[in-house]
């Protein structure tokens, strides 16, 4: 290739690099990134959409310990609009914000309880269709309106989206008091007929007045929203959620207390960690019979009793049996509630039954969601106490 041609090609290549920035230009300062999206039932058929638009300058400044003018600004702006559909409401947002609204950074979607009680099917459309939504967005159901939850400002975190995301992770991993559900989980549960949709519940929560002598409104993740065929039909408390996650084999860790045998007024606390779950299925009878075997490992955290010492292996066996019995009772109560009160397979047992069917038509005809209430479910919990902490013995009463 002659030198002149080579130079021309190089020039064209160089231009391509420079001009690429002009094509589809989207400067960050022109875009309003919605980090949290709330969807509530509005008047009549309308939707109330609340968006939290992050202010990157303030969030970044806060993280780096910056102050100045940015320190006075809110880290996120919250706007609420009403529209017949989600896309119409989002379009209306752009009539009073000078930024192009973008959902590519949305991390959390909060769905209002009233909306969920009227069914989720018609609102899933945009969440699946729009390229801006990712399937790993966290989904939460608000007890009350999503708008109410989104107007609370976290104290220790500047970015409300990061706060909610971290809260979701901690509530799931450290306490098991709320499930962690992504849009992907939500859609799969809705579509595959193997389980019913569940979602964590986020509630406005008033923190007791501290040194500043003023109560603060915060958000708390606790409990589980239960759905049946895409409509919210009930909820589980925090402790029921712990049991639900244990039965689903999703437990990371949670704390369980049992009365001290020698003095039922006193309690012992153990940290439990999921160590395995097996589901056996017997379809020989008229109704499927599921046997759920859960294994948990425990670590003694505290005991209010002064004796006896946990150094005795026989005593350890006794505590393991008591813990297991306690958890089995809770599990049976939960299964009873799921079967009788809302007929909702939140345990995902349908996924274990579906492989027994050879084709989709027969699986659909079987109508598992309707049959779940009559299925036989037996739970066996095994607890192994592995550690007792830094001491065998509690302090003696003086």
Partner 1 sequence: MGKQIMDRTGAVCLLVTILVAKMFTPQPRMVAEQAGSAAWLVVLLTGPLSLLGYWGLSALLVRFPGLSIAQISLKALGRVAGAVVGILYAAYFIWMGGVMLREFVAGFRVAVLPSTPVSVLAMGILVIGLYAAVKGPEVQARLAAYLIPGMAVLLAITVVGVWRLLDWRQLTPVFGYSLRNTLLLSFPLTSKHSEILVLGVLAPLLPTASVRRLGLSALLAGYVGQVLFLLFLGSVFPFPAMSRLFYPMLELTRMIEVSEFIQRIEALFIFLWFFVAAFAMATLITTIASIIRDVTETTLFNPFALSASLLMFTIAFIPFNQVELMWLDWLTLRTWGWAFSFGLPILTLAVAVLRGKRGENGETPETRAG
* Burial group, residue 276, by CB count within 10 angstroms (0-12, 13-18, 19+): exposed
Q: Which is nearer to partner 1, 39 or 137 (CB)?
A: 137
Residue identified by tokens 């300062």 is: 29
Q: Which is nearer to partner 1, 135 or 317 (CB)?
A: 135
Q: How many residues does the chain have?
A: 398
Q: Which is nearer to partner 1, 82 or 105 (CB)?
A: 105
Q: Which is nearer to partner 1, 134 or 289 (CB)?
A: 134
As measured in angstroms, the least distance from the Cβ of 363 to partner 1 is 5
Compute the distance between CA of residue 244 and CA of residue 242 in angstroms, rounded to an integer: 5
The DSSP call for residue 85 is: S
Is residue 127 helix, strand or coil? Answer: helix
Compute the distance between CA of residue 114 and CA of residue 146 in angstroms, rounded to an integer: 10
Q: Which is nearer to partner 1, 215 or 355 (CB)?
A: 355
Is the torsion defined by CA of 38, 41, 42, 45 positive or negative?
positive
Among candidate residues 151, 158, 137, the one with its CA nearest the CA of residue 79: 151
As measured in angstroms, the least distance from the Cβ of 137 to partner 1 is 11
As measured in angstroms, the least distance from the Cβ of 357 to partner 1 is 5
Q: Which is nearer to partner 1, 333 or 362 (CB)?
A: 362
The number of beta carbons lying within 10 Å of the beta carbon of residue 30 is 11
As measured in angstroms, the least distance from the Cβ of 74 to partner 1 is 25
Q: Which is nearer to partner 1, 135 or 386 (CB)?
A: 135
Compute the distance between CA of residue 259 and CA of residue 377 in angstroms, rounded to an integer: 27
As measured in angstroms, the least distance from the Cβ of 21 to partner 1 is 14
Tell how strand 253-260 and strand 231-236 pair up.
unpaired
Compute the half-sphere exposure of residue 49: CA atoms within 13 Å on the CB side of its CA.
20
As measured in angstroms, the least distance from the Cβ of 390 to partner 1 is 30
As measured in angstroms, the least distance from the Cβ of 153 to partner 1 is 23
Among candidate residues 12, 99, 20, 87, the one with its CA nearest the CA of residue 47: 87
As measured in angstroms, the least distance from the Cβ of 354 to partner 1 is 5
Reduced DSSP (H G I as helix, E B as strand, rest coil) percent helix, strand, coil of the chain, to 5 = 35, 30, 30
Q: Which is nearer to partner 1, 138 or 222 (CB)?
A: 138
Compute the distance between CA of residue 86 and CA of residue 127 in angstroms, rounded to an integer: 9
Site residues (CB under 8 A) for partner 1? 23-24, 128, 131, 134-136, 184, 187-188, 191-192, 194, 351-352, 354-355, 357-363
As measured in angstroms, the least distance from the Cβ of 352 to partner 1 is 7
* Burial group, residue 237, by CB count within 10 angstroms (0-12, 13-18, 19+): middle
Q: Which is nearer to partner 1, 134 or 153 (CB)?
A: 134
């Amino acid at each position: 290739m002659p030198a002149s041609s080579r130079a021309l090609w190089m020039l064209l290549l160089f231009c391509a690099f420079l001009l690429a920035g002009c094509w589809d230009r989207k400067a960050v300062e022109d875009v309003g990134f919605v980090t949290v999206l709330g969807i509530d039932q509005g008047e009549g058929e309308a939707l109330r959409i609340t968006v939290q638009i992050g202010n990157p300058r303030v969030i970044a400044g806060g993280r780096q310990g910056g102050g100045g003018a940015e320190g006075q600004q809110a880290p996120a702006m919250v706007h609420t609009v009403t529209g017949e559909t989600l896309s119409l409401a989002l379009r209306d947002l752009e009539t009073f914000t000078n930024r192009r609204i973008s959902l590519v950074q949305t991390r959390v979607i909060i769905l209002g309880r009233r909306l969920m009680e009227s069914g989720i099917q018609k609102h899933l459309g945009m969440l699946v269709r729009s390229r801006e939504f990712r399937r790993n967005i966290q989904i939460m159901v608000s007890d009350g309106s999503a708008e109410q939850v989104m107007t609370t400002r976290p104290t220790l975190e500047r970015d409300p989206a990061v706060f909610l995301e971290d809260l979701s992770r901690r509530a799931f991993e450290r306490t098991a008091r709320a499930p962690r559900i992504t849009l992907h989980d939500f859609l799969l549960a809705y579509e595959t007929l193997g389980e019913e949709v569940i979602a964590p519940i986020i509630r406005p929560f008033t923190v007791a007045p501290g040194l500043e002598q003023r109560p603060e409104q915060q958000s708390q993740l606790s409990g589980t929203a239960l759905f049946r065929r895409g409509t919210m039909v009930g909820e589980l408390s925090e402790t029921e959620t712990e049991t639900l996650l244990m039965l689903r084999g999703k437990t990371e860790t949670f704390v369980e207390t049992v009365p001290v045998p020698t003095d039922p007024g006193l309690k012992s606390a153990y940290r439990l960690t999921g160590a395995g779950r097996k589901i056996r299925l017997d379809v020989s009878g008229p109704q499927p019979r599921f046997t759920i075997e859960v294994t948990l490992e425990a670590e003694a955290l505290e005991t209010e009793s002064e004796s006896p010492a946990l150094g005795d292996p026989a005593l350890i066996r006794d505590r393991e049996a008591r813990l297991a019995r306690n958890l089995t009772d809770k599990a049976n109560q939960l299964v009873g509630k799921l079967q009788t009160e809302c007929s909702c397979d939140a345990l995902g047992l349908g996924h274990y039954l579906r492989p027994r069917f050879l084709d989709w038509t027969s699986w659909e005809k079987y109508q598992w969601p309707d049959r779940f209430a009559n299925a036989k479910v037996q739970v066996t919990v095994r607890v192994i106490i592995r550690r007792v902490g830094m001491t065998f013995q509690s302090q003696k009463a003086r």
